[in-house]
A and B are shown apart, each in its own frame.
Chain A
Amino acid sequence: GIQVEQSPPDLILQEGANSTLRCNFSDSVNNLQWFHQNPWGQLINLFYIPSGTKQNGRLSATTVATERYSLLYISSSQTTDSGVYFCAVNTGGFKTIFGAGTRLFVKA
């Protein structure tokens, strides 16, 4: 089956810093989503981005489907950005496969 790898596994930032999270996948995908899991365990949709670039406030994402990777950019990080960031892919079936996540901690 498809492999989804995220890097880095852990990231500590000072408030105000920028960061880039990466998601590599081993096969063609129909769909890629980025999620933020907050400290209460809720999965928040960030982007549905099978290809191209999208922006939402301080967050933006780019997926290069032909090269099988996606990037999530966080600018001017805030303490509320802390949590785990997951990418999840669908290869045309019914299941969505999650990566192991990047655990982000933003220090005040």
Chain B
Amino acid sequence: EPEVTQTPSHQVTQMGQEVILRCVPISNHLYFYWYRQILGQKVEFLVSFYNNEISEKSEIFDDQFSVERPDGSNFTLKIRSTKLEDSAMYFCATSRLDRGKDTQYFGPGTRLTVL
């Protein structure tokens, strides 16, 4: 079964540094998402992306965050200046169809630790 992949699996960074989290979607999927899970808490929606544009974002997704699909395969989440509270597991998800019409498949996650 095709899988969503994410790199790195674990990233440790100093407060104030920029990080880029990478995702490779399932090949025929067109809709991409990032979610965040702070340790012990629920999974929270950050942003959805289609056709090189953000289609929806949450209040968490402020100016510190950006997404892009730089080369037609990778889908990236950039955090410009990390804060301690950005420490979390970040999940990428992809789907063939939007608006809940199809299953969202999640990657294994990147655990971000900000020191």
Contacts and interface: CB of A to CB of B under 8 A. Distances in A.
Contacts of B93: 96
Contacts of A94: 31, 33, 48, 55-56, 98-99
Given A92-B99, A94-B55, A33 B104 contact: yes
Contact of A45 (B43, B98, B99, B106): B106
B22 interface: no
A41 interface: yes
Interface string A65-108: 00000000000000000000010111111111111110000000
Contacts of A97: 45
A30 B104 CA distance: 13
Interface in A23-40: 29-31, 33, 35
Contacts of B31: 94
Interface residues of B, number: 28
B75 interface: no
Contacts, number: 64
Contact of A95 (B37, B48, B108, B109): B48
Interface residues of A, number: 26
A42 interface: yes
B104 A96 contact: yes
Given A92-B100, A94-B33, 17 more contacts: A29-B100, A30-B99, A30-B100, A31-B100, A41-B37, A43-B91, A45-B103, A89-B100, A90-B100, A93-B99, A95-B45, A95-B56, A95-B58, A96-B104, A98-B42, A98-B43, A100-B41
Interface of A: 29-31, 33, 35, 41-43, 45, 48, 50, 86, 88-101
Interface of B: 31, 33, 35, 37, 41-45, 48, 55-56, 58, 89, 91, 93, 98-106, 108-109, 111
